[in-house]
Structures are given as structure tokens and as C-alpha cells.
Structure 1
Amino acid sequence: MLAYVALGANLGDAQATVLQAVNALAQLPGTRLLRASSLYRTAPFEASGPDFINAVAAISTRLSAPELLLNLQQLEHDQGRQRPFKNAPRTLDLDILLYGNAVINSPDLQVPHPRMLQRAFVLVPLAEIAPERVSDAQLAALALQTVQPLPDAKPLSPASKAR
């Protein structure tokens, strides 16, 4: 299944954490990294703390959506993610944006991600690696949200074969 995962961090060495997380996605069981966007710096949106480093990755996975979610939560936990309050600063945040064409509405998982169209820090990197998934109108609607590409950030290349 083709899935898109948003990555973000704003505590510690956020850039290194996001890069490590992209590599960790490629190590998930039955998963292959297809593409990853450049890294972007964004001010916290509906959150607090330092600026975020964000990216989006496209993966091919044999994991079900709930299995993928559990694996992403484990990666967050491994990076010290805590959830003391809603939208707290975080060492790592991983969200399933899209899982094929599935529409999932469970207490634990909503796909497509319910707020992705409201967040330039998601749509800009998604448009970079999957322009067919983001319209010009969707990007224009978020034009006031600043998303800055990191000057030394280059697209990440797939690092591994399916496990």
C-alpha cells in the first residue's frame, strides 16, 4: 500500500531527528521508502515551542493502517515523545496523511489526516514529492503560513528494500 507520512520535530536536534525518522521508516517491517521531501522550517502552528523541522515521506508498506500507526507511535516513543498536553512541543511527531485511497474513521486513526489541508507544513512537502495529491488552490489557501526550505536540505533518497 502506498502511504504518506508527515514527520516533524521541534525539541532537541530536530533536523537530525527527522532525518533519522525517515531512515527508520525504511526499516519498518514490510516497508520500503519511496521518496522523501526536503526539510522545511516552520513556526509552530496551533502549538508552542521552537520552530519545527518538517518533511513528508512516501512509503510502500504491507502493514495495515493500524499496524503502521502502532509502528509510528513506537518510533515516536523511541525518540522520547511525551504527550503532556495537546500540541505540546515534541521530539518527534509522525502522522499518517494518506493510506492508499482508504478512508478510515476510528477512535485511534483518521485517514486522510483530518487537518492536513489546513497545514502548509504538510501540503508544501507533500506537493514536492506527490504534486498530483495537492492542488494549486489548496496551496494558495495556505499562502499566509510560512514554510521555509532549509538551505542545505536536499531530498532524501530511499535507503532500503522492503523487509
Structure 2
Amino acid sequence: MNKVYLLIGGNMGDMAASLAIAKKEITKRVGRINLSSSIYKTAAWGLENQPDFLNQVLAVDSDLQAQEILKIILDIECRMGRIREMKNGPRLIDIDILLFNEDIIDEENLKIPHSFLHRRNFTLAPLAEIVPNMVHPVLKKSIMQLLQESQDRLPVQRL
């Protein structure tokens, strides 16, 4: 059984409903959700002139491999109406693989741990809520330590 940590989020439409739909689809198609962080309201990162996001981290047990999960979550995004128009732009739903077991994956279409995991408080805060002592497999620091050392100053509010 693989332990997968996913970040779900969005900043368009009924964001709470989108998170609920994404969770239902993840449960049906990826695996059982064991832990869910609180929902966090977060300022947009990268392209800041847009509405705030709602984000949540999920810990999922899955029989699937990382590339299979990637295909499924991209399909879920597409079916939910995600259109990729601009990098870091507004979106109905976004689902990212943050961590997969303690694996390090460096493939053209998949980087695990997520390349920006340690630089974004909107990812670190909900992850630290559910697994504060988990160690980043590359940086060898706990998620809580990464959050405490983070230089990201954008607001992240637990709802």
C-alpha cells in the first residue's frame, strides 16, 4: 500500500464544493483518504493578482503507482472543468502529488517530492497539521521545520 499526500485547491466558483467533489473522486479512483487537513484560505502564489484559494492536504492509501495517480488526478481536474490557460493562474480545481511514500521521483512529467513543496506555506501549513514530523526525503528536514524556516510571507489562514 502506498501512502500519497495530495494537495487540492482552487480559487474559482464554489470552492468548497469543488474540494468536496475532488475528495469524492479521489476516494473512488485513487484510494482511501486516511487524513484530511483543515481547509486553508491562502493568498495566490506566483501570480498574486487573483482571488484567494482554498487548499487542503489529503493523506491517501493507494494500490496505484505515482504515474497512475498522476493520470487519474489530471483526468479528475479535466472532468471538473479545469482549463490550463496560464501558469499559476486562477483555476476551478488543482490536485498535486506532494509526496509518495518516501520516494524521490524525477521524471519529465512528475517530480516527487513536489518541486515547490518546501517554498509554499499554503502547502506546508496543511501538511504540517497532519504530519508535522514527516521528513522531506530530499531535504531531510521535518515538514514542521520547513514551515518554520519558510521564507514565504503570503497569508495562510486555517478555516
- TM-score, normalising length: structure 1: 0.86
Q: Distance in 1 between matches of 2:20 and 2:149?
A: 28
For 2:133, the equivalent position in structure 1 comes to 132
For 2:24, the equivalent position in structure 1 comes to 23
Maintained 8 Å contact 2:42/2:157? yes
- TM-score, normalising length: structure 2: 0.88
**1:40 corresponds to 2:40:** yes
**1:148 corresponds to 2:150:** no
Q: Distance in 2 between matches of 1:136 and 1:57?
A: 17
Q: Would you say how many aligned residue pairs link Structure 1 and Structure 2?
A: 149
SS of residue paired to 2:133: helix
- Per-residue CA deviations over 1:97-134 (Å, capped at 9, x if unaligned) read 00001111111100000100000000110011111124
For residues 83-94 of structure 1, the aligned pairs below 5 Å read 83-94=84-95
Q: Distance in 2 between matches of 1:104 and 1:20?
A: 28
Q: Distance in 2 between matches of 1:36 and 1:23?
A: 13
Letter in 1 for 2:146: Q
Maintained 8 Å contact 2:42/2:55? yes
Q: Distance in 1 between matches of 2:7 and 2:156?
A: 14
Q: Distance in 2 between matches of 1:136 and 1:101?
A: 16
RCO (CA 8 Å, sep 6+): is it higher in 1 or 2?
1
Alignment gaps of 5+ in structure 2:
135-141
Give RMSD over aligned pairs.
1.3
Q: Identity percentage over the alignment?
A: 36
For 1:161, the equivalent position in structure 2 comes to none
How far did 1:84 drift? Answer: 1.0
